[in-house]
Amino acid sequence: MVGFLCVTLGNGVRPRAGYAVVFQFATLCLAVSMALEFLVQQEARMRYSQFQLQDGIGYYKFLRFCMGASQLFATHGVCMLCAMHLGHAQHFQKCPDMPWSVASKQAFLAVFGMVTIAWLVQRNRSGHNWPICQPQEFMLVAAWECFLPAVDLVMGVVFLTVGLRHYTEAIELGSDADWMLLPAVMKFIDFDSFVILATFIASTGHQIAVTFEYYTERMLISWAMEVCSNVSSLGLAVFTFACWKKPPMQGWTRFLLWLALMISFENFMYYQSVEDCEMASALPGCCTFPSFPDVSAEGKELWQMCALDHRCMQANPVSSTDNRTHYCKLPRLFHHGGHEEPHKEHRDSDLKWGRRPSLPPDVTCTELKQRWRDFPTELKVEETREHEESFSTAFRQFKALGSAGNIEFNFALMGVLMKVIFLVYHPNSIQILEMRRHSQHGESASAH
C-alpha cells in the first residue's frame, strides 16, 4: 500500500481514456479495505493494549507504539485513497529548502515548544491520580486541563478570523440553467484541501460524544465550555485551508503558521495520549482527570474513583456476596454518574479541589502506592468492565472513532502547515509560488 500510494500520488497518476470507471472502482475498493483494516487494527489495539498484559509481553510499550502508528497510517491511507477517487491525483510537490537563518530561529523555537509539549503530555500520565502524594504533578495537570478550553476558545477565534480575512475567493455557481456547483467545488478543493475537510468531519465525532455526555449528566457549565472550545478545530481548519490556498508572504498571518503548527502538535499529542490511556490504563475513566468538571462542583464523584491516594485509604468488600475486603476497592454502589452508599456522606475536605487533605498518621504515600500495586488485577479488570458497560456500545464506538479522527485531523494539519512554511520562508518564495500557480492553471486548462 505504501508503494502504491507513493507511485500514484507522487507521479500524479490519472486513469487513461475509457478506464475512469475502472479506476474509481479500484480506488473505492482500496479505500473500503483500508477502512476495514482500521477497524481490525482498532480491535487488535484494544485487545493487546490492556494493562493486564504488560507483565506477559516483554515488548509491551513498543507494541503499543506500533499499533498506534499503524492505526494512524490506516486512517491517513483512507483519506488519500478517497481523494484519489474524487480525481485529486497530485500530492507530493517539490518544496524549497528552509534557509539556515529561519531554521536556527523560528524552527528551533517551534521544535523546542513541541518537545516541551511532549514532556508535559508525558507528565500528564504520571501523577494526575495522586493529589495528596504528588501535589505538584496533580496541580500541573489540573491547570493544563482547566485552561485548555479557554486557550482553545481564544486561539480558535483568532485563527478563524485571520483565515476568513486572508482568503476571500468565491465560488461561481452559475445560473439555474447552467448549474456549476460540483465542477466549481472540485476545482476549488485540491488534494490537501480535501484531506483537511475529510479529517475535520471525522474529528467531530469525539466532540459530539463528549458534549452529549455533559448534557445528559446535566453538567451545564462543562457542556458550555466544551461547545465553546470546539471553535479551535474549526479555526485551525479554516486557517490552514486559507494559508494553503493563498500562502502568506509576510505579516502577522505568516507568524501564525508557527503557532498553528504548535497547537496542532499539542492537540495531536493530547488525543494520542488520551486514546492510548483509554485502551491501556487500569483507569480508563480517569484519563483526563482532573479536568474542568472534576475541579468544579459538577464532577465530584470522580474523585472517589480517580484520586488513588484517597481511594486506597479505606478497604471495601469485594461484592455483596463476598465479604473479603481490599484496599482501593470502590464502594459496591459506585457507578458512572452516581455516588457511594447513601448513608455515607462525602468528606468535603477530601473531595474539594483547592484543599490538600492530610494523610492519616498511620499511613504513608509509599504504603498507599503499594496498596494500589497489590490490588488484584482481576478486580481492576472487573471495575474497568463495569465502567465501560455504563456507557452504550454506540457511544463508546462513536467516541473512539472521533478520537482517531481527531488524531488524523491534527496530523494532516501539521503536514499541510509544514509545506506552507517551507514555501513562504524561502528567499525566492514569490517566484516559486508563481511557478506553482502557472502549473495549476496549466493542469486546469489541459483538463478542460
pLDDT per residue as tens digits for the range 414-429: 988 988 888 887 777 6
pLDDT attached to residue 162: 92
Structural domain span for residue 254: 108-448
173 and 292 assigned to the same domain: yes
- 319 assigned to some structural domain: yes
pLDDT attached to residue 338: 43
Q: Which grid coordinates belong to 355?
A: 484543599
In the chain, the number of structural domains is 2
**Domain finish residue from 36, 61, 92:** 92
145 and 188 assigned to the same domain: yes
163 and 43 assigned to the same domain: no
pLDDT tens string 133-159: 888 778 777 777 777 778 888 999 999
pLDDT at 347 over 50: no
- 151 assigned to some structural domain: yes
67 and 114 assigned to the same domain: no
Q: How confident is the model at residue 332 (pLDDT cuts 50, 70, 90)?
A: low
What interhelical angle do 60-85 and 252-280 show, nearest 10? 130
Which residue type sits at 201? I
Backbone angles phi, psi at 397, to 5 degrees: -70, -40
360 and 280 assigned to the same domain: yes
Contact 237/202 with Cβ under 8 angstroms? Answer: no
324 and 258 assigned to the same domain: yes
pLDDT tens string 376-386: 888 888 888 88
- 102 assigned to some structural domain: no
pLDDT tens string 359-371: 777 788 889 889 8
The model's pTM is 0.78
- 50 assigned to some structural domain: yes
**Domain finish residue from 92, 126, 145:** 92
193 and 283 assigned to the same domain: yes
Which residue type sits at 309? D
List of residues 6+ apart from 207 with CB closer than 8 A? 226, 230, 233, 402
310 and 191 assigned to the same domain: yes
158 and 295 assigned to the same domain: yes
444 and 306 assigned to the same domain: yes
- 101 assigned to some structural domain: no
pLDDT tens string 65-77: 888 888 888 888 8
The pLDDT of 102-130, averaged and rounded, is 76
Residue of 39, 135, 64 whose CA lies nearest to 359: 135
pLDDT attached to residue 220: 81
- 142 assigned to some structural domain: yes
pLDDT at 208 over 50: yes
84 and 183 assigned to the same domain: no
**Domain finish residue from 92, 127, 153:** 92
61 and 161 assigned to the same domain: no
SS3 readout for the chain = CHHHHHHHHHCCCCCCCCCHHHHHHHHHHHHHHHHHHHHHHHHHHHHHCCHHHCCCCCCHHHHHHHHHHHHHHHHHHHHHHHHHHCCCCCCCCCCCCCCHHHHHHHHHHHHHHHHHHHHHHHHHCCCCCCCCCCHHHHHHHHHHHHHHHHHHHHHHHHHHHHHHHHCCCCCCCCCCCCCCHHHHHHHHCCHHHHHHHHHHHHHHHHHHHHHHHHHHCCCHHHHHHHHHHCHHHHHHHHHHHHHHHCCCCCCHHHHHHHHHHHHHHHHHHHHHHHHHHHHHCCCHHHCCCCCHHHHCHHHCCHHHHHCHHHHCCCEEECCCCCCCEEECCCCCCCCCCCCCCCCCCCCHHHHCCCCCCCCCCCCCHHHHHHHHHHCCHHHHHHHHHHHHHCCCHHHHHHHHHHHHHHHHHHHHHHHHHHHHHHHHCCCCHHHHHHHHHHHHHHHHHHHC
- 161 assigned to some structural domain: yes
- 6 assigned to some structural domain: yes
CA distance 305 to 329: 9
